[in-house]
Structures are given as C-alpha cells and as structure tokens.
Amino acid sequence: GNGDGEGRGGESDPLYDEAVRIVTESRRASVSGVQRRLRIGYNRAARLVEEMESAGVVGPLQSNGSREVIAPPPP
C-alpha cells in the first residue's frame, strides 16, 4: 500500500456495508454466510470478512474456525 492503511479507501467493496449489517445482525461472522446472503464468490466474501477484521467489526479467526462479532448492529 501507499501508507494509507487506515479507514476505507476507494478500494472498498460496494457490498461492504451490507456484509457488515448481515454479520452484526446475525452475530455470525462466517465467510460462507456472507457468501450465501450476498450471492457472491468465496474469495470476495473472505475479503469482506478480512476487511471487517481490520476495521474492528469482527475478531480474528479462532482455532475453532469462527470469529467473534464485536461491533453492534447498525441502528
């Protein structure tokens, strides 16, 4: 990157906000869940979940393969 590691650059997926809503409302941060709800490919869904981890929406991948959802659902 060009030193812009903070926040949402122009690279952000247009489905990011929708993915955050799905994860925070269901309290389940699973790539397959995001993939199914948004009808997108695995790689794109995985990238969205990783973006959420960077943003502090979800926690890191745990040994059991799940992530903790940290952020509250949007109002």
Domain boundaries, the chain: 12-70
Fold held by 12-70: Arc Repressor Mutant, subunit A (1.10.10)
Q: Cα 56–60–63 angle (5° rounding)?
A: 160
Cβ atoms of 44 and 13 within 8 Å: the answer is yes
pTM of the full structure: 0.81
How much is the pLDDT for 75?
85
How far is CA 33 from each of CA 10, 13, 36, 53, 55, rounded to the nearest angstrom? 25, 17, 5, 16, 19
Integer Cα distance of 17 and 29 in angstroms: 14
Distance, first Cα to last Cα, the chain? 33
Residue 5 predicted with pLDDT over 70: no
How much is the pLDDT for 65?
87
Over the stretch 10-67, which tens digit does the pLDDT of each residue have? 568 999 999 999 999 999 999 999 999 999 999 999 999 999 999 999 999 999 989 9
